[in-house]
Structure 1
């Protein structure tokens, strides 16, 4: 009975105001009291109908400019929820979502961060359905952000960076490390760069970030020198800034950068060497040296300043010095 009342109200949401909706709800409750409803529906038709909601949401995210990686994560998360909860989207309740998240956490033994990411995506899906008037109210509204432990993520020390630079067997790898370290760009942005995107005179480059948003990044003198040395050593005609070492010298992919850096880290016994760590290191270093957080935000291409604050780990020694300077 509750499901059918909800479905009737969903269909009337665009036609009635709040007062009229309350009256309709009261009438439906009184009308259905004592009645038994027997369902006889084709399960396959229902499933096809549900997948359409997911497809429409994914199309909307594509139009918004979300990355392919994000799109795949959204789609798999939503489709998995819809397979586990045997209901039409319009009939899914807050308790259904809570049970799903609880069971997922129990069965997969994943972290609270993972569960909160799933909650966030499901919330985004139902909020979109609500905004598009496919449902009356998102069932995830009352499910709050899951509290997670704040993990202090590592950054590279100056010594670690210099050790990696000194032990690069290829000039290409040295140029990659220098560019990541001095610009803080994402690895996905790095592999999309073409030679023509680099302005050596100004030591800057235009990169395409998430949602194809353009921004300028800047590199230092030693990065310029090693980039030029790398380009001068190449004999291919590929327009890509970084290419594979072996013929036919195709554009380097994200996995290629990650594997190369991981091998270098293992060889030198440096903990957790990966491209994204350079980005976090730059943010931390910039804030420690007094760069305004708004400028760090622009440098990293974050749409929200909260994201920038999560990247930057403030040096405790600087906090102590500031306390003595401004308070003591």
Structure 2
């Protein structure tokens, strides 16, 4: 039995339901922001009710608005729209998903970009010229492999300097324990003494509030520029460096996966691929 027209929710009511669904699924703030931005943009440009949406319309929108975009960006858009329309189909807002699997561009799987020992040493020296907070941020990220959001959410009671461990909240609000270096522990101990008592956070901005992702990215970007590092330098590159270094030293993938907070071992296997690529390069360099 079909619903009466007046009982059909509007596009934005459906979008609100979808975003609530995403929140309840414990999706990260970054993911929620990305989904919301794209879907609001998509719905802003259409007056067609979602239950009347056709694959031709969606495809034309993707072609028009993705004309000057990278293939990786368009692939992300397709993934977001597919998730949204799958939700709509499951909830009975539409009959059938107006998306085609052939739309997805076949992208080469990129290898993680890591930093070599010499470059890392240069950046470490450069960081010593900065303030203590920035030194601790660099040391913590490079020796723990944490995501930047995990580090910035840390409170004082999450840190155990003696054990050199920290309790972080990862994706899906999953708690795990990470480890950090002896040098990081020394710097962190001094940093904790200087923090204001009324604040629980570890990495604070000038207003004594927790440092934002944008602020942390800026700090690391400036470190990379000062060290004249080739390519963009950010927290995820440090995370890749941490994982690659562990693998090169013989650590098992299962251990690296646990340290990084990967929910599936297959996500970690990309680093093994990277090491294989490096061995091939070395072979060609010396053997021809």
Question: Shorter-normalised TM-score: what interval?
Answer: 0.7 to 0.9
Residue equivalent to 1:100: 61
Shift of residue 308 of structure 1?
Answer: 3.0
Residue 277 in structure 1 maps to residue 250 in structure 2: no
Residue equivalent to 1:205: 166
Residue 134 in structure 1 maps to residue 93 in structure 2: yes
Shift of residue 282 of structure 1?
Answer: 1.4
Residue equivalent to 2:143: 182
Q: Deviations over 1:261-280 (max 9, x none)?
A: 21222222113221121111
Distance 2:12 2:208 in 1: 41
SS at match of 1:167: helix
Shift of residue 235 of structure 1?
Answer: 5.4
Distance 2:272 2:61 in 1: 33
Q: Judging changes above 3 Å, is the alpha-carbon distance between structure 1 residues 268 and 104 closer, same or farther for their aligned structure 2 residues? A: same
- Please point out which of 97, 118, 135 is paired with 1:159: 118
- Contact between 2:39 and 2:81, CA under 8 Å: does it hold in 1? yes
Residue equivalent to 1:87: 48
Alignment of 1:47-66 (within 5 A): 49-66=10-27
Alignment of 1:12-51 (within 5 A): 49-51=10-12
Residue equivalent to 2:254: 294
- Contact between 2:113 and 2:237, CA under 8 Å: does it hold in 1? yes
Q: Name which one, 1 or 2, has greater alpha-carbon Rg.
A: 1
SS at match of 2:166: strand
Residue equivalent to 1:216: 177
Q: Judging changes above 3 Å, is the alpha-carbon distance between structure 1 residues 305 and 85 closer, same or farther for their aligned structure 2 residues? A: farther
Shift of residue 309 of structure 1?
Answer: 3.8
Residue 230 in structure 1 maps to residue 208 in structure 2: no
RMSD across aligned positions (CA): 2.7
Distance 1:61 1:233 in 2: 39
- Contact between 1:197 and 1:205, CA under 8 Å: does it hold in 2? yes
